[in-house]
Amino acid sequence: MHGLQERIQETLEVIRGQWTREPRIGIICGSGLGKLSEALTIEAAYEFADLPHFVLSTALGHAGRFLCGKWNQAPIVAMQGRLHFYEGYTLAEITYPVRVMQALGVDLLIVTSASGGMHPQHHPGQIIVIDDHINLMGDNPLAGWNDEDLGPRFPDMSRPYDPPLLEKALEIARQKNISAQRGVYVGVKGPNYETRAEYRFFRAIGGDVVGMSTVPETLVAVHGGTRVVGLSTVTNVCLPDALTPVTGQEVIDVAHQASRNVRIIIDGLIQHESRTMKSELFP
């Protein structure tokens, strides 16, 4: 996308007009997880419509706000709601907020989402710490012209989700008695939920959960050198031979109920990062 850095600077000017902290952590609040923002001491809030080059969130349960503030005294920026491919936007538009986060100073992105669980041991409300992903969206936000100042033409994706922080997230879950597993996330365009044959296919190729987000943001984050932690809430179990209908509102409701556990894991990760940051400043 030509002129991307110029657009980013125009967005930064609006944000920096009210908020001047240097955040190292960014959070994307997925479906039903907008209340995660309640842990944030909000110092500045922007509707997506008020930020240059942001597009509007039209998805169910997504407020569409960009929040700036502190979480346990750590400067944080957060998307209260996200953008999706099925809304008709390009992947470049969907991932533009991640570019803005990186320009603000974010070097850790925590991505949350709702997903369908395809493993027989999954249950609604379970947290999946994403170990890897499969991109079946039919597109890639890194396709097209590449700005080498933002990232390499051919970024490595051998470990898109930061291994030490992945283990830390699982450790926090164990300590807090939260049901969590690692798993592979299959990213699809949506907006329909999948057929029985599609679930069988996703499981056969190595998928554990399936959803309509996360992958584009992760690709752009890694492209820009940002570490990523992915936390996906299983909102419905998708076993082809025992498949039952599901609605968008049901997905939102389960994700909302599980948001407390997601918040506990994020809180532990932020505390861990804060301690790490202090040790870097005062070795």
Split at pLDDT 50, 70, 90, the class of 61 is low
Binding residues for a purine D-ribonucleoside: 194, 236
When the pLDDT of each residue in the chain is averaged and rounded to a whole number, the result is 90
Split at pLDDT 50, 70, 90, the class of 1 is low
Q: Which domain holds residue 184?
A: 4-281
Predicted local distance difference test score (pLDDT) of residue 204: 96
pLDDT in tens, 78-109: 998 888 999 999 999 999 999 999 999 999 99
pLDDT in tens, 201-223: 999 999 999 999 999 999 999 99
pTM above 0.95, yes or no: no
Predicted local distance difference test score (pLDDT) of residue 69: 95
Split at pLDDT 50, 70, 90, the class of 38 is confident
- CATH number, domain of 176, equals 3.40.50.1580
SS3 letters across the chain: CCCHHHHHHHHHHHHHCCCCCCCCEEEEECCCCHHHHHHCEEEEEEEHHHCCCCCCCCCCCCCCEEEEEEECCEEEEEEECCCCHHHCCCHHHHHHHHHHHHHHCCCEEEEEEEEEECCCCCCCCCEEEEEEEEECCCCCCCCCCCCCCCCCCCCCCCCCCCHHHHHHHHHHHHHCCCCEEEEEEEECCCCCCCCHHHHHHHHHCCCCEEECCCHHHHHHHHHCCCEEEEEEEEEEECCHHHCCCCCHHHHHHHHHHHHHHHHHHHHHHHHHHHHHHHHHHCC
Binding residues for phosphate: 31, 62, 82-84, 114, 213
Whether the per-residue pLDDT at 3 is higher than 90: the answer is no
Binding residues: 31, 62, 82-84, 114, 194, 213, 236
State mean pLDDT over 228-257: 81
The total domain count for the chain is 1
